[in-house]
Structure 1
Amino acid sequence: MTVPVITIDGPGGSGKGTITQMLARRLGWHLLDSGALYRLTALAAKRQGISFNDEEGLVAAALNLDVAFEPTAPGEPVRVLLAGEDVTGDLRTESCGDDASKIAVIQPVRDALLQRQRDFQKMPGLVADGRDMGTVVFPDAPVKIFLTASAQERAERRYRQLKDAGVGVNIDALLEEIRARDERDMNRSAAPLKPAEDAQVIDSTGLSIEEVLDQVMALAGQA
């Protein structure tokens, strides 16, 4: 039996993580936060003292990840466990996101994580969040969505999140990090960030989460 998949790709801060969780709950489907796998690999490598220039070491870290995703309350990020330890907070830092973007350009690391991502495809269906879900990991998905927003809006969203969490942050520095990450992700040789040819592009700039979810739900009916 073919397991339906909805892919939601896009840059960091576009709202795809929140939309993916809400959609998965609404449909009762499984969820894949592929970005967390890259963040986990970066975190595991750092903890093991593996240099980001050590491709062999990074591949070993990726292949040996002991990872589990646990659903949380609406509006909260997916709880991520690494070897039984809740590392959700560690993964959501800007430095970890930056590290993940650096190792994501390494093709052997991407190859090591490819099948792990596809293994999340189980009945009754999967909602997959990432940057190359529709172009590389699930190219035959019946519904592909590319969710984006302006860099300024994404920086402001992230600024509010961090401020609400009590984290001191400079919005200009955040904007610069987001633009640098976008540049790196869009121009990398390994699966550059771009919409799949048959993806529906949704620009969430100026839209509420509910307005975006309404558009996504309308498309989900085609899965």
Structure 2
Amino acid sequence: MTENEKRVGLDALHQCLHRVLPAVSLRSQSLPNTPQLRLWLLDELFPEQALEPEIVNRIMEEPPYWSFCWASGQVLAEYLMAHPQWVKGRCVVDVGPGSGVVAIAAAMAGARKVIACDLDADALTATRVNALENDVEVMLSQDLDSALAEADLVTAADILYDRENLPLLARFQAAGRVLLADSRVPDLNPRGYRLLGQWQSCTWPDLGESSEYNGVRLFASEPE
């Protein structure tokens, strides 16, 4: 992807964003806990206070979710960069990449190949733009079956806001190794997964969500 293609991608993302928030733009910014990683994210609406409830509702009704870095994505990205042995030399398939933060972290941590898989074309555009921002290569796919066929490791963060995605957890295990981060399902205890730990984080930029969504649990599934 060239710099010109990056500008075209950013233009397309701004057009999509402005349908929900006409006066807001994206800005390239570092993440709080992984400052070496930069993403094009929503610029701050209110630098000194949380968003007004009606704006949060509008975002939740028609979410440009790729314009935020959600808590689970931040935690999983930070974990991969601190524990590169999970990805080094492997093909990593990141499902539901959003801004692309986990896919990019996997590439930065030494993955042999990274595939970001999503049905949402805007999320894939955001991932592509953000990968270029960080000088890494991330392949894009809308075909989950073909992507999983290549995977040595599957990563996913905050995909369970839709309970219909729960059956995916069993499908992921066919790859052998899975890292799953979630802050939306407090009673989550997926079969065949073990809890690695819990971390505190928040959406960036901060949406002012309930503190219950700041606790991120990380699960792993590995071959016996």
Q: Which bracket does the TM-score occupy, shorter chain normalised?
A: 0.3 to 0.5
Q: Which has the higher helix share?
A: 1
Q: Taking structure 1 as the reference length, what is the TM-score of the superposition?
A: 0.33
Q: Taking structure 2 as the reference length, what is the TM-score of the superposition?
A: 0.33
